[in-house]
C-alpha cells in the first residue's frame, strides 16, 4: 500500500464522535407531484433536512459530472460510488467503450486483429452476449451495432447475438423497440448475402445471465443453457423455441401479462428445420459486450474456468475463445481476455484514511456491498478475509479489507421478492451500523441503504413509498445516535430513481440531483457550505469528508463542499 499522508487543519480537528456517511441509494430530488414516490411518502425527517437547508445543497449525480459520455446519461451506483471514493471525475467504462468503438480504435487493436483472424481462418462463428437497451448503465445498443459493423469490416461472416432484455434501466416493456432496431441493422448487413448475422437467444436480465455478487447462480445457469447449449426455459407452457425474438417476447407476455422485460424467460431461436441458430461449438468466438463489471463477472468465470468451473453443472461445455469488452475484475483477472483496459482510479480517499490509521466500517446488503467496497475503492477488490455468520433471522458475511476496515454484508433475498418486501434488509443494516457506532471502535463509517434503487426498479410506486418511509426512519435513528455522541452525519445519495415514476411502471434511474446534508450537533459556525463551486457533484464529497475529519483536502481532489471561516 502506498503512503498517502494527510496534513491536519490548523483550526478544526473534527469532532469527538465518528463521521458517518449515509448513502440513500436511488433517492434523488425532483418536483413535488403525484409521480414522485419520495414526495408522496411520509418522510418527516428527510423533509425537515430539506426544508431547513442548514448545511444543505443539491449535487449532480449524472452525466459528465460523474464521468459519463454526455449529460443525457442518468447516474448509476457504479459511477456514483466511483466518484464518492475517487474525489474526482474518473473516465467511466461507458465513455471508454464509446470512444473505442466510435473511433474504431477497438478494431485497429492487436487484440481484435488476433481474434478476428483466428475466427476467419477457421471459418467459425462469433457470439455476442449482452444487455440490449440504451440505458447506458451496463451497455448501449449503439455499442453492439458498432461492434457488428466492426466485425463486418473485419470480414467475420457469421455472428449470433444473445440478447439480454432490460426493462430496468429503460421502460419495463420496451424490449421490442430494441429488438426492432437491431433487426433493422441485421437486415442491412445481411442484404449482400455475404454475411449471416442473426439473433440466437435471449431472456430477461434478472432471470438470465446477469447475476452479481454470487446472489443466485441459477440465473447464470439459465443463461449458459440458452446461449451456449441452446436449451431454453420451460415456463408456464412456454417451450422456449421460437422463429424470432419478437415471437418469443410476445408469447411470454401472452402467458403472463404482468411479466416485465427484466424477468422474461430465456428463449432460443430455431431455423426452418427446427435447428437452433446459435448453439456454441468448439473454436467459436464469444464477446460479452457489457462494459460494467458487477453483472459480468459470473458469466465470465463460467467461460474462463472451463472444466474447472464448479458453481453449476454445465449441460454442454464447448472450447470457445472468450473475450470481455473490458476486464471486469483486475485482481482476479476476470476475464482472461478483454479488448479495452478498465478505467484507472489511482487513489481514493480511503487510501488516505488508511494511511492515517483511521478505523473504518462499512455495511450494506448483498445487492450493494460491492458498490460500497469495490467501486468505492476505485474498482479494486481489497477483501482479505471473510467469515460467514448465521444470526437468528438473517445471514451475514463479515470481512476485512487491506485497509483494515471491518465490513458487514447482510445477505439479501432474491430480487424478484423485493416488490412485495420493500423494506428489504434495511432494518438489519441499520442495526448493524448502530452496533458499530456504539462500539466506539470506528472514526469513519459508511452505509448504503439500498431500498430507493432496488424498489424503484420494480416500478411499483406504492412499494417505493414504503421504501422511502423505511429509509427515513433509519436515517433518523442513525442521526439521533451520532448526535448523542458528538459526531457528524452526512446524508446523501448516489443517483435518483424512485423520485420520478412519471411513466406507467417507470423503473429506470434519473438525471436528477441528490441531496447533500451535514448534521453536526456541535456545529458552531466553524465552516459553511461552499457555494462557490459551479457544479457541485459526487466527486466533491471525498474532500468534504477529509475536511470534516480534521485534515486538509489533497491537492489532486476536487474542492470540498465546505469552506472554513478564517
Give the Cα separation of 11 and 326 in Å (integer). 46
The reply to whether 116 belongs to the active site is no
Pairing mode of beta strands 514-520, 360-365: unpaired
DSSP H or E run through 420: none
Terminal CA-CA length for the chain: 35
Give the three-class secondary structure for 57. Answer: strand
* Own/partner long-range contacts of 435-441 (Cβ < 8 Å, ≥24 apart): 436/361, 436/363, 436/406, 436/408, 437/18, 437/20, 437/478, 437/481, 437/482, 437/485, 437/487, 438/481, 440/485, 441/359, 441/361, 441/406
Q: Is the peptide bond between 335 and the residue preceding it cis, with omega within 30 degrees of 0?
A: yes
Strand (E) or helix (H) holding 322: strand 321-326
CA 110 to centroid of chain Cα atoms:
30
Quote the strand ranges of 84-235, DSSP E. 126-132, 158-165, 196-204
List Cα–Cα distances, 118 to 38, 101, 112, 154, 287, in angstroms: 54, 21, 10, 11, 14
Yes or no: say if 79 and 64 are a contact pair by the CB < 8 Å rule.
Answer: no
Q: Which phi and psi angles does 138 have, rounded to 5°?
A: -110, -25
Contact status, residue 449 vs residue 429, Cβ threshold 8 Å: yes
Catalytic residue among 13, 51, 77, 521: 77
Cβ atoms of 333 and 419 closer than 8 Å: no
Residues 555 and 533: their CA atoms lie apart, in Å, by 16
Buried b (16+ CB within 10 A) or exposed e, 179-195: bebbbeebeebeeeeeb
| Closest by CA position to 4, among listed 546, 561, 558 | 546
Q: Which three cell numbers stand for residue 402?
A: 487491506
Distances (CA, A) of 423 to 29, 370, 384, 464, 466: 21, 20, 31, 9, 7
Scan for cell 445471514, then name that residue. Answer: 395
Active site residues: 77
Amino acid at each position: 500500500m502506498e503512503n498517502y499522508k494527510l496534513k491536519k487543519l490548523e483550526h478544526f480537528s473534527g469532532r469527538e464522535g465518528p463521521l458517518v456517511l449515509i448513502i440513500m441509494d436511488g433517492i434523488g430530488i425532483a418536483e413535488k407531484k403525484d409521480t414522485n414516490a419520495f414526495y408522496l411518502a411520509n418522510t418527516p425527517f428527510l423533509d425537515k433536512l430539506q426544508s431547513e437547508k442548514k448545511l444543505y445543497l443539491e449535487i449532480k449525480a449524472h452525466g459528465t459530472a460523474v464521468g459519463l459520455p454526455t449529460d443525457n446519461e442518468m447516474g448509476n451506483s457504479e459511477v456514483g460510488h466511483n466518484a464518492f471514493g475517487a474525489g474526482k471525475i474518473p473516465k467511466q467504462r461507458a465513455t471508454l467503450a464509446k470512444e473505442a468503438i466510435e473511433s474504431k480504435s477497438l478494431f485497429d487493436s492487436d487484440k481484435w486483429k488476433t481474434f478476428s483472424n483466428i475466427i476467419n481462418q477457421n471459418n467459425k462463428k462469433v457470439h455476442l452476449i449482452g444487455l440490449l437497451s440504451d440505458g447506458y448503465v451496463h451497455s448501449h445498443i449503439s455499442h453492439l451495432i458498432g461492434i457488428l459493423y466492426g466485425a463486418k469490416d473485419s470480414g467475420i461472416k457469421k455472428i449470433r447475438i444473445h440478447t439480454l432484455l432490460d426493462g430496468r434501466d429503460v421502460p419495463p416493456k420496451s424490449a421490442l423497440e430494441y429488438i426492432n432496431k437491431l433487426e433493422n441493422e441485421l437486415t442491412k448487413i445481411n442484404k449482400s448475402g455475404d454475411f449471416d448475422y442473426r439473433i440466437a437467444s435471449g431472456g430477461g436480465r434478472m432471470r438470465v445471465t446477469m447475476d452479481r455478487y454470487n446472489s443466485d447462480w441459477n440465473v447464470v445457469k439459465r443463461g449458459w443453457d440458452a446461449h451456449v447449449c441452446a436449451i431454453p426455459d420451460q415456463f408456464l407452457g412456454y417451450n422456449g423455441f421460437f422463429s424470432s425474438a419478437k415471437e418469443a417476447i410476445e408469447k411470454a407476455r401472452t402467458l403472463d401479462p404482468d411479466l416485465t422485460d427484466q424477468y422474461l424467460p430465456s428463449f432460443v431461436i430455431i431455423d426452418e428445420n427446427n435447428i437452433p441458430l446459435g448453439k456454441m461449438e468448439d473454436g467459436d468466438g464469444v464477446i460479452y459486450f457489457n462494459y460494467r463489471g458487477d453483472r459480468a463477472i459470473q458469466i465470465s468465470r463460467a467461460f474462463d474456468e472451463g472444466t474447472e468451473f464448479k458453481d453449476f453443472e454445465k449441460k454442454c461445455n464447448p472450447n470457445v475463445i472468450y473475450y470481455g469488452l473490458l476486464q471486469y475484475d483486475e485482481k482476479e483477472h476476470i476475464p482472461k481476455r478483454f479488448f479495452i483496459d478498465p478505467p484507472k482510479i489511482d487513489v481514493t480517499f480511503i487510501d488516505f484514511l488508511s494511511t492515517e490509521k483511521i478505523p473504518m466500517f462499512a455495511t450494506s446488503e448483498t445487492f450493494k456491498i460491492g458498490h460500497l467496497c469495490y467501486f468505492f475503492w476505485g474498482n479494486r477488490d481489497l477483501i482479505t478475509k471473510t467469515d460467514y455468520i448465521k444470526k437468528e433471522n438473517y445471514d451475514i458475511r463479515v470481512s476485512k479489507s487491506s485497509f483494515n476496515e471491518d465490513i458487514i454484508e447482510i445477505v439479501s433475498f432474491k430480487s424478484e421478492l423485493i416488490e412485495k418486501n420493500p423494506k428489504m434488509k434495511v432494518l438489519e443494516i441499520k442495526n448493524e451500523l448502530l452496533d458499530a457506532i456504539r462500539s466506539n471502535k470506528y472514526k469513519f463509517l459508511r452505509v448504503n441503504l439500498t431500498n430507493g434503487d432496488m424498489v424503484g426498479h420494480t416500478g411499483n410506486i406504492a412499494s417505493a413509498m414504503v421504501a422511502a418511509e423505511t429509509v427515513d426512519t433509519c436515517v433518523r435513528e442513525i442521526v439521533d445516535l451520532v448526535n448523542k455522541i458528538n459526531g457528524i452525519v452526512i446524508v446523501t445519495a448516489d443517483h435518483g430513481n424512485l423520485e420520478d415514476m412519471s411513466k406507467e411502471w417507470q423503473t429506470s434511474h434519473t438525471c436528477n440531483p441528490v441531496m447533500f446534508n451535514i448534521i453536526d450537533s456541535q456545529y458552531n459556525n466553524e465552516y459553511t457550505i461552499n457555494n462557490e463551486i459551479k457544479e457541485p457533484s459526487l466527486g466533491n464529497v471525498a474532500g468534504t469528508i477529509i475536511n470534516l475529519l480534521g485534515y486538509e483536502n489533497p491537492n489532486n481532489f476536487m474542492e470540498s463542499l465546505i469552506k472554513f471561516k478564517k
